[in-house]
Amino acid sequence: MVTEVNGLALTVHGPAGAVDLVVPVGASASDVAREYARQAGLAEVPDVHTRLGRRLPPGSAIVDLGVDSGDLLVAAPGAPARSGPPQAPVAPTAGPADRGPGPVATLWFGAATSVALLTGWYAAHAAGSTRQAAVLLLAFAALVGVLPVGSLAHRRVVAAPAFGAAAAFAVAWDPHPARLPTVIGVAALIAAVVAAVGRALDRRAEEAMRAWIATGTLLFVVSTAAALLGLAEQVVWAVLLVAATFAGGAPSCGRPPSRSSRPGAPAWSRPARPRSWR
């Protein structure tokens, strides 16, 4: 889960416009609603929803509900407002099994992605029922990975395109070196399709899904164009190398941190950029 130094940076849209907040990591949905009502000057405390319309239970911590730093929340009219600062969040009583995913889960799905790619490579060189079983297993893993079920769904969906790409690589494999770019392009296209399905079902990992879709589409377009034009495989690798070099130097990678992410910022604060009003 991505967090700021002193809390979560959120944007809350509501009846009075959009307000940017930096909230404590343990803040509940009701705390966020009361702070929005206070800063926006509302007479009522709104209910907080995700941008897809799912209402966040007022007494639950937002991190346990899958809210990450940078997320967009929607405030809708709710109960009458109470004066005073936001109340301290109540410590959750949920057990360890109900807590949000940690670094172990991220490491686990990263290892699963590596295993998927290795399985696709070995399945491509296998024959008969072994190859078919491996392809079916990889395809089934990709299908299960995009299902928005469980607290780790937004982590699992990031690894799902790798399983789809591995299955497609095993099916489209050709030992001729000149056809390797085309095989990789087909696998990349399937990865982009799996990522698009996962993004449509669960948008909590939208940024990672967009990266999968953009990368897979680029690989497919470059490899297919080279095959249609009769270009050598070295041309494909050169074009992809140049594209990767420019992608790594995107301006967003070197953007300086906002004032709200610097050490010493208060637990409840507003970023330096002005509030936007409708």
How confident is the model over 70-125, as pLDDT tens digits? 788 888 875 444 444 555 444 444 444 444 455 776 787 788 888 888 988 998 88
Say yes or no: 211 and 109 in one domain. yes
Of the given ranges (4-13, 14-23, 117-126, 197-206), which has the lowest mean pLDDT?
A: 4-13
Q: Is residue 268 part of a domain?
A: no
Say yes or no: 215 and 105 in one domain. yes
Say yes or no: 29 and 68 in one domain. yes
pLDDT band at 177 (very low <50, low <70, confident <90, very high): confident
User: How far, in Å, CA of 95 to CA of 236, rounded?
Assistant: 51
Percentage of residues in the chain having pLDDT higher than 70: 77
Say yes or no: 29 and 117 in one domain. no
Q: Is residue 278 part of a domain?
A: no
φ, ψ for residue 268 (rounded to 5)?
Answer: -110, 110
pTM for the whole structure: 0.53
* Strand 17-23 relative to strand 47-50, pairing: unpaired
Q: What is the pLDDT of residue 61?
A: 84
Say yes or no: 111 and 161 in one domain. yes
Say yes or no: 65 and 20 in one domain. yes
Q: Is residue 237 part of a domain?
A: no
Q: Is residue 266 part of a domain?
A: no
Q: Where residue 72 sits, what CATH number does that domain have?
A: 3.10.20.90
Host domain of residue 57: 8-91+257-261
Say yes or no: 223 and 121 in one domain. yes
Edge-to-edge strand ranges of the sheet holding 17-23:
17-23, 8-14, 72-76, 47-50
Q: Is residue 201 part of a domain?
A: yes
Per the model's pLDDT, the better-predicted residue between 271 and 219 turns out to be 219
Per the model's pLDDT, the better-predicted residue between 243 and 125 turns out to be 125
Q: Among positive and negative, which fits the CA dihedral 247, 209, 121, 183?
A: negative
**Helix or strand or coil: residue 269?**
strand
Please answer whether residues 277 and 17 qualify as being in contact, where contact means their C-beta atoms are separated by less than 8 angstroms. Answer: yes
Say yes or no: 136 and 119 in one domain. yes
Number of domains composing the chain: 2
Say yes or no: 110 and 225 in one domain. yes
Q: Is residue 179 part of a domain?
A: yes
Q: Is residue 272 part of a domain?
A: no
Among candidates 90, 50, 78, which has minimal Cα distance to 66? 50
Say yes or no: 184 and 109 in one domain. yes
Say yes or no: 162 and 211 in one domain. yes
Among candidates 127, 240, 138, which has minimal Cα distance to 173? 127
Q: Is residue 136 part of a domain?
A: yes
